[in-house]
Chain A
Amino acid sequence: MPMVEVLNLEKDYGKVKALKGISFYINEGEIFGLIGPNGAGKSTTLKILSTLLRPTAGEAKIAGYDVVKDADKVRALISYLPEEAGAYKNLTGYEYLQFMARLYAKDRKKAEEMLELGVKLSGLGERLRDKVSTYSKGMTRKLLLARALMVEPKLAILDEPASGLDIINAYTIRQTIKRFAREKGITFLVSSHNMLEVEFLCDRVALINKGMIVETGTPRELKEKYDAENLEEVFMRTVGAKISEPVGGEGS
């Protein structure tokens, strides 16, 4: 049984049709990338899988549990990192991780272990003793990523995990994700704009555009199929984007 099964998922926000019936699956221990341009529906898909939004039609299952009907069961398996997120400003980074560990862990010992892992993953060192309100954007992101990973969920849903991180931190987090998938068998669903990141990180990807999945496969398969050198080219061709002249640029 795949870890994630999505079938003909649709989502309307009032008149806006964000998802027009998408289907995909993710195997256990796989790192799956959802890639697409702005407004394609990546975040919407991830929010539905995280039980935050209800699909208008279609269904989504995580480890066999329906995200709507068995939302409580699903929440016990996942850990979600929103695209734009913050932490409680008046808590210290350490207290934030502690708060989260206590809610996820079944017992004291497990909570301590999670917290210890979180402290290590965050890489914030002494700064964990400071209030979150004093953190830079990237530091907050690292704290939140540590939070999402330290609980060692069955499925980690990360919406643009490396956004706002510098090259070194982005590299480190990719390594961590890979290690967690290999060593702990954690399944990952990540969304991204960064094709290099996706190519390096993901076992399989789905290209999404205007609420529809246009292509799925391993990065290698896709590159071969489209005879492209990298995923960026694949992406351009599948989306059929005609690159518009830069406004005010030389060509105008």
Chain B
Amino acid sequence: MSDFWVLVIKELKDLLRDKGLIFGIIIVPLIIYPALGQMMQVGFEQAQGETKVVLVNLDEGQYGELLIKALETAPNVTLTKIDALSIDDALEKAQEKDYNMIVIIPENFSKAIESNQKAMVEVYGIIKGISGGMREAVSEGRINAILTVISEYIAKLKIEQNMEGDPDAILKPIDAKSFTVIKGRVVAVPPSLVANLVAAQSISMPLVIFIMIMLVSQMSAGSMAMEKENKTLETLLTLPVKRITIVAGKMVGTAAIGIIAAIAYMVGMRNYLGSIMSSSGEIGISLEDLGLTVTPQGAALFVLIMFLAMVFALSFAMLLAVFAEDTKSANTVVSAGIMPLAFPTFILMFADLETLPVAIKYLLLAIPFSHPILASRAMLMGEYSTMYVSVLYLGVISTLTLFVTARFFTTEKILTAKISWGRRKKAE
């Protein structure tokens, strides 16, 4: 076995047997996220339950009856008619029966419609306890949808009686049909839908990349700091092993665990997002329908970019850890050093790089962690030239950082450099 693999295996053993670490990075995401998703789903399902409506009809004409018919036949709505003298009276009766919606058809409802005046229906949602009104919001939406349909229906009736021509066209003279041009192809899908689809992609991707980068950095810095804390570093550095091998062994060992952890996060997260998505409805089109397919070339470039970004994160975190005396300060140093680099990438979740001010655009491009996110989109769009630029840039900056880190390991700085918080002093 080469020295490199001996070091990697030691690293894996040492980390994988750390119960706290394993619990924190693998078990927690695998349990917490799905549990969270489950809880959300239960909430959704409750909100989606039957809408129980108490109806008070003070009108005597035909339009009141029409509305009642519509409500009665609507799905997910159960209607109970009651007699009430006033709103207060109706409220009391509804609460008695545990109903959450009240619809009141006022006295002159039909008359107003007949004389071409605006008629009003009053809709009350009774929010109780800690449900936060989600159920009532859904119910209100349902009732409003019914009212819109009835409204349109009555309008069309009136048009038919008084005018010639297609009532539909008169009611809504202009309609739009939306298309999206993507990768030079015209698809009969509105841009808003495409945007939704791509947004789902472009929010989850940066999130996963962010988690992966943070985990991997924390771990490599932590394992470096652990060597200092447990006083194993001095011995390690006097072994007949090249320093670059020591650095590489540590990076690969911690990266392997970091990737396992990231996968745990992704699986957990997917369950979590999955249970939300399924309850809020699918868009019904896939990326393939839009001609956004991933070619082997695109995938290879993306993997390469991810790899280079990881190398940068790892070597930068190790470089930062050189200055940390123990695991606690390693965490602080890494958070202070990597977070600012990782956070701006969140801008890319919501903004298009090309539409940002030039200064911000180049600032973002200078941050290595922007590139995997941009690449995840470029991969779909087939813009390989920008991916090659990313590979080139990341290649240069990762090599540079790795080189600097390895340099630090060959000097005595690794043993003597330290930052003591509060009061900064330089010891060499």
Residues of A within 8 A of B (CB): 13-14, 47, 50-54, 71-72, 75-76, 78-82, 84-91, 95, 99-100, 102-104, 131, 144, 147
Contacts and interface: CB of A to CB of B under 8 A. Distances in A.
**Top 10 nearest A-B pairs by Cβ distance?**
A90-B17, A76-B240, A86-B231, A86-B230, A80-B238, A82-B234, A102-B6, A75-B240, A90-B14, A50-B238
Interface residues of B, number: 29
Contacts of A147: 235
Interface centre among A84, A87, A103 (most CB of B within 10 A): A103
Given A88-B14, A90-B13, A102-B1, A13 B6 contact: no
B277 interface: no
B426 A14 contact: yes
Given A52-B237, A78-B238, A91-B14, A99 B6 contact: yes
Contact of A89 (B230, B237, B412, B416): B230
Contact of A103 (B237, B240, B416): B240
A85 B428 contact: no
Interface class of chain A by DSSP: mixed
Interface of B: 1, 3, 6-7, 10, 13-15, 17-18, 230-232, 234-235, 237-242, 410-412, 415-416, 426-428
Given A52-B415, A76-B240, A89-B230, 8 more contacts: A54-B411, A54-B412, A79-B238, A80-B234, A85-B235, A90-B14, A95-B13, A103-B241
A50 B237 CA distance: 9
Contact of B427 (A13, A47, A86, A99): A13
Contacts of A79: 238
A91 B10 contact: yes
B101 to A, nearest CB: 60
Contacts of B428: 13-14
B199 to A, nearest CB: 43
A86 B228 CA distance: 10
A52 B18 contact: no
A84 B230 CA distance: 10
Nearest to B237: A52
B239 A75 contact: yes
Contacts of B411: 54
Contacts of A95: 13
B222 to A, nearest CB: 13
A91 B13 contact: yes
Contacts of A104: 239-240
A159 to B, nearest CB: 10
A50 B428 CA distance: 18
B415 A53 contact: yes
A50 B285 CA distance: 65
Contacts of B416: 13, 53
14 contacts: A14-B428, A75-B240, A80-B234, A80-B238, A85-B232, A86-B230, A86-B232, A87-B232, A88-B232, A90-B14, A91-B14, A104-B239, A131-B17, A147-B235
A103 B232 contact: no
B419 to A, nearest CB: 15
A100 B236 CA distance: 9
A69 to B, nearest CB: 12
A71 B238 CA distance: 9
A131 B238 CA distance: 23
A79 B240 CA distance: 9
Interface centre among B17, B416, B428 (most CB of A within 10 A): B17
A14 B230 contact: no
B1 A80 contact: no
A86 B236 CA distance: 11
Tell me which of B7, B231, B234 has the highest count of chain A C-beta atoms within 10 A of its own C-beta.
B234
Contacts of A71: 410
B153 to A, nearest CB: 73
Contacts of B1: 102
A103 B239 contact: yes
A80 B10 CA distance: 20
Nearest to A76: B240
